[in-house]
Structure formats: structure tokens, C-alpha cells
Chain A
């Protein structure tokens, strides 16, 4: 039997396939379609202090092998999450990581403080791809100093794993990875969506109400792999690979380039049991190749040229 479990910051996960924030609701919605206890963990939709209504329509559009979204972090807010969703989460065994989004550093702290009062949660993933209202709406996540600052402020408030979720919309993700590692983050999730756009030529209008949105799905996998490769080589803490994972083979690619675990996002919309199928597929691959531990795949890439991601193809 292949060993599938692993741990981050002292928390044990039954396998290396987690479901990504914003693509699995708060966990309860999919429970009639998939045995959530077979997932490595559920990462909940980003929560802010107060409920957020989200952006006006149109919020989503399909693109070749992917989709663009501008949901606008629509969520029920941390208080309703505790009263409405915690009771279900208490009934399941799989780890639950709560994702937090905020428009100020203080708000990140406040949401985490509320969650700290409940023992059910196994860790936090911090979505820094949010507009920073104090800086005129510029994303925290593209500002290395702010990303580090959020980590520094949150770190002393919890002993639970603190996972910083990085955006790919920066030149060098390795710099951001190093910055959050230095501030005590337990792990990094990479990547969030890529900035993208679609145009309706009949109307001469952008399809999304916000003009640009976040690209996800199989279309982004090559970009995500390169970012995960770059980040995981820059830090010692685990990197959780995300972006376009559809099959077990996709997930194994991420493990090989250096991801300790992976998250499945957009594919949950197509098949809510994709995460479980992929976890089983990784295990089958290991058994087939006589690999005793799925962890043996991590960073096992045989890259003959040890070149920098930034120059190797120039």
C-alpha cells in the first residue's frame, strides 16, 4: 500500500489532493455528489469579515480550455460561515482549511481571530489577490512588501498552519515566496488565477462586467507549473501547486516539479468528484511504479539542465 498522507505545520492530511478555494463552496454543497472524506482537504470559499455581494453580471465566460471569472469574492461573511456551515464541517473527517480574503490588513487579522475560537479548522489559506482599499485598490498580492506584512501580522495570531496563496501575476514569484517564508508562513499555495480578458465583438464590449477577470482551468497549467517550479526551488517550506489540474497525470507533473500537494479548482465545476479521482490516480501511479510514498514524487523531476526558470528558454 502506498503511503498517501503528509503533513504541513503539524497537521496531517490523508492525501495530497485538496480542493481549491472558490471551487467547492463551503464543503456542504458537494457532499451529496462526492465522499469529501476522500479528499486531502477542503479549502473553503474566501471569507471576509462581512458578507460580500460580489460583482454584477456577467461574472463568468468560457474560454479555450478554461474560463474567466470576476466573482468579486462573493461570500457569506465569517459570522454566517460559523453559524451556517460549521455544523456540517463538524460532521466530516477531512481537514478543513479556511481561506481568508480582506481589503485591509486589519480585516485579515479580524477574520482569523474569529476563526481561531473554533477548534474545527485545521489551518488558514490567505488569499492576497484582493484589492487593498488603503492603496487605492491595488492588489495586495502584487506588492511584495504588503504580502510580507500580511504574513507578519497574521503569524503570531495562530499556531495553525498559515498558507499564503500567491498570485502568478508578478514577474518573479520566487521573491514573494521568499518574503512570506521569511515571515514565518508554513506553506505557499501557487497559483491563483491569471489576469485575462474576453471581448464580445457584436457589442464591442468586454464580456465581463469588470472588463478583466481571472483565467483558470487547463489553459493555465503550463504557466502554473513553471511558477510552482520557480517558487519551490526558492524556499524550503512546502508549495501547494494549483492551476489547470484535470487528471492525475497533471497532478503528478506538479508534484514532480516540486509541489508537496496540489489543489483542484475549475474541474470541480465539471466533476465534483475530480479531486477524489485524481487522488486515487496518483496512488495507482505509485503502485504501478513501485513507489512506496506519494511524497517520493515531490521534486523528483529529472531536469538535466539546472538552469534558472528565467533564462532557460531565452
Chain B
């Protein structure tokens, strides 16, 4: 974990209300693992006061990228950054996906909405490991889809403007019987409702599944105790989303 004053390189719109912020951050770019995040100070004064957490979307050389929707003050401030600005970035933070484990042969990457964020970095690592890759994306409609830097992509949209009409979980359910995935494991990120449905789907079929959660955070590295995630039957009642997560085995947590 480092704190870097990072030069903004660019902010570009890649889909409707969806932006990629690219910044210079050598130490984070070289050490980040798929599923980890950064906590970014978006303003110099106290408006907004707290940092904002974002998954690392891509990392290459000395640069990192995050992808975000403008949903409030913090993300609006980020959207307005330009190559004249510097942002203070804390990271890489959190526990990554266990892509290195030997326990699976096919990685099924599932992204709902901007849950696509950690998938390109995951794709890169999985490809290098020689794993089979399937990517399933869900979005509200085609204009929100972000399909770059992924492999073997299947899409669904809520309004049917592209791919299957329905959710990413519906799409996964329709694909599963038709595909011959050898020992699959799901790696997912998305809204809590989707992860809950996906978790049930995976557990019912005995498919291992790791999900990346989001929720309110203050520090992002374990000192405020502000981000509890309920555990099902661990020795303790809660884990910390920022430190023990944001990635969790779906069987460990109660969503």
C-alpha cells in the first residue's frame, strides 16, 4: 500500500455516463492484483471530505486506469479532471480474486453494470495462466455496455437492445447447460442484488464463486472499522470489506 500524488493523463467517455480515468502511478501499476482497488482523494478542500474507492480497471507500465459512472459529487469531480490535475491515490488496497488458485480450469467472469471494472485486469492474468475464459456482462441497455479488453464476451441487457434480454444471471443460467465448461469458477462484480442472485445460482449448482462487493468506506485500509460484511459462520461475526475483501468467497458471507 502506497500513497501517490498521481498526474492525471486523461479522462475519456467510453460508454453512456461512463468514464475511464488514466493516471500515472508507477508503484501502484506495478503491484496491483486483479480485484484490488484504490482510494482516491477527489478534492483538495473537504468537499467531499472522504476518498472514493474504485477498482483498478487496467494497469500497464507506469499507468493505471479506473472506470466509473458519475453518480454524485465525487465522481463528478473526477469526470472534470484533466491532464493539468494531480490526484492523491492510496493503493493498491484489499484482497484480490484468487486467480492463481489451481482449483479451476474455466474462469467465468461476470460483470453487472460497472461491475465490469475488475474484469480486464483479471482477463490479462487468466490468459497468461492459460485458463479458459468466458465473460458475461449485464447492462441496462446497449449504450452502457463496456466490452473492451475482455475475451469470449456474452452480453445481456435489461431492455434487450443488445444480446439476451434479461440479467447477467439469466444469461449465465441459459449458457451453462449448453457449454462444456471444464471445472468452472465464477469471478463476479456488480450490484449487491445481482451478486445475491448469482451467489444463490452458484451455490445451488455447487460452482465455486468469488464476488467483489461495494459499500460505504472511509479509510479503505482497515483503520476505521466502518465497512463490516456479515460472515455466515466464521469465528467472528464480521469481516472488513476493505481489507478482508472486497473479494469474498460467496459461501463465507451473507449478502
Contacts and interface: CB of A to CB of B under 8 A. Distances in A.
Interface of A: 22-25, 29-30, 32-33, 45, 51, 53-62, 64-67, 69, 71, 74, 217-218, 246, 266, 268-273
Interface of B: 1-3, 41, 46-51, 88, 90, 215-230, 236-238
Contacts of B50: 62, 67, 269-270
Given A53-B236, A218-B46, A270-B51, A29 B221 contact: yes
A65 B228 CA distance: 23
Contacts of B88: 271
Given A53-B236, A54-B225, A269-B219, 11 more contacts: A25-B222, A25-B223, A60-B227, A62-B48, A62-B50, A64-B47, A67-B218, A71-B225, A269-B218, A269-B220, A272-B3
Contacts of B226: 59-60, 69, 71
11 contacts: A23-B224, A33-B90, A54-B228, A57-B229, A58-B215, A60-B217, A62-B49, A62-B216, A65-B49, A269-B220, A271-B41
Given A57-B230, A270-B41, A272-B3, A29 B222 contact: yes
B121 to A, nearest CB: 23
B54 to A, nearest CB: 16
A142 to B, nearest CB: 23
Nearest to B236: A53
B140 to A, nearest CB: 18
Contacts of A246: 46
A32 B219 CA distance: 15
B52 to A, nearest CB: 10
Nearest to B238: A53
A56 B228 contact: yes
Contacts of B238: 53-54, 74
Contacts of A51: 236
B223 A59 contact: no
A24 B236 contact: no
